[in-house]
Structure 1
């Protein structure tokens, strides 16, 4: 064994948990430097073990709990969401919602249901309640309106857990008319950050409410569909569903 490997084993040596104990002892017998260092280590460890264990101050636990509560409030992990399955024309959707509105939508890509729920919980920092049999009427009506192209039905969205920049990007994306597209640069200008096209793209890549926040209507400055978290084919299918004609609109696409 090398000296460095032996030093890494010293803590486990004292507890008797080191499986290579005999090899370590053999090295110590042959290496005077490690032998002296180990003796010093044992002396310090013994002195530390003799120190009395001081109880934590009474103020420590309340301070820790206050810090945990503060972090939970920032991440909204103390909140829960209802979840239900909606069978859409593009496949199964997992929809999370609260009284304030729809919180998240996950498109099923052949995952197990528990994987869909876990991914949704991670994105919105909330705990999913037991799966509901059906989405509420207001959620169903909003999704039906999206897929049928109706504009007379609006559905509330809960974006409270997002950053100010993310909310600005998603609200701007929601203003892109059905059947039209805009570039990342256009969206960056809309939120007052004309040089932040890449940051806009990153925000859209983490869009928690696809479809209703139509990030599929955002393409690159050359008119290409570019990336989509659920695949370019689904992006093309959604745009086709909305009546977008790529060749006809590329020249007139707004990029700034």
Structure 2
């Protein structure tokens, strides 16, 4: 008997029009696995396949709820998300960083250093920054709310870079 498992299915869907451009989501049987925007379907599909070794299927019925909630957020009509997340294939450290990031309240910010301290690893601010820069579920896990220790916008791994981060903070009534 072989222990090789067949690839699972990941369902992707598109929000064709949003304030930040066309937005893609990927959903596994566990939950939301990826969010990205301003890229063609084939690039998003390749990204999802590279992270999951799964079959990628375009399926609006499986992706409608995360797309609805993200659309509401981008229109200023939603502050919190109620979606299961799939952080499988991430290290325990990455999961811990993203779990702490996910509880930063709407309109508020934290710092890479503060998250490192919360983890009991005060010397790990740069490692926290690397996790935030590669967050597979931006917006829903609000890495845009994490700032440098000086309060500055030090990078944003999502499309649009620092300008996008500033826009998202402005949307939430935070700093620009």
Name whichever structure is richer in helix by fraction: 1
CA offsets per residue over residues 38-71 of structure 1, 9 Å max, x none?
Answer: xxxxxxxxxxxxxxxxxxxxxxxx8xx65xx4xx
Higher Cα Rg, which structure: 1
- Give 2:162's aligned residue: 232
- Give 2:137's aligned residue: 209
Equivalent position SS for 1:129: strand
Q: Give the gaps of 5 or more residues in structure 1.
A: 1-61, 247-256
- Give 2:15's aligned residue: 86
- Once the two structures are TM-superposed, the CA of residue 144 in structure 1 deviates from its matched residue by 3.2
- Give 1:132's aligned residue: 59
Answer 1 or 2: higher relative contact order, Cα 8 Å, separation at least 6. 2
Structure 2 distance, partners of 1:234, 1:128, is 30
Equivalent pair of 1:102/1:156 in contact (CA under 8 Å): yes
Residues 153, 112 of structure 1: alpha-carbon distance in 2 compared, 3 angstrom cutoff: closer
Equivalent pair of 2:11/2:62 in contact (CA under 8 Å): no
Equivalent pair of 2:116/2:125 in contact (CA under 8 Å): yes
- Give 2:119's aligned residue: 191
- Give 1:242's aligned residue: 172
CA offsets per residue over residues 141-178 of structure 1, 9 Å max, x none?
Answer: 32134323424651111112211111100010011111
Equivalent pair of 1:141/1:153 in contact (CA under 8 Å): no
**TM-score normalized with structure 2 length:** 0.86
- Give 1:144's aligned residue: 71
CA RMSD of aligned residues (A): 2.2
**TM-score normalized with structure 1 length:** 0.61
Structure 2 distance, partners of 1:153, 1:104, is 14
- Give 1:101's aligned residue: 31
Match of 2:85 among 140, 157, 167: 157
Residue 113 of structure 1 pairs with residue 38 of structure 2: no
- Once the two structures are TM-superposed, the CA of residue 134 in structure 1 deviates from its matched residue by 5.8
CA offsets per residue over residues 208-247 of structure 1, 9 Å max, x none?
Answer: 001001111111011110111121111111111111035x
Q: Aligned runs of 1:3-152 on 2, under 5 Å?
A: 69=4, 78-87=7-16, 88-108=18-38, 111-122=39-50, 124-133=51-60, 136-147=63-74, 148-151=76-79
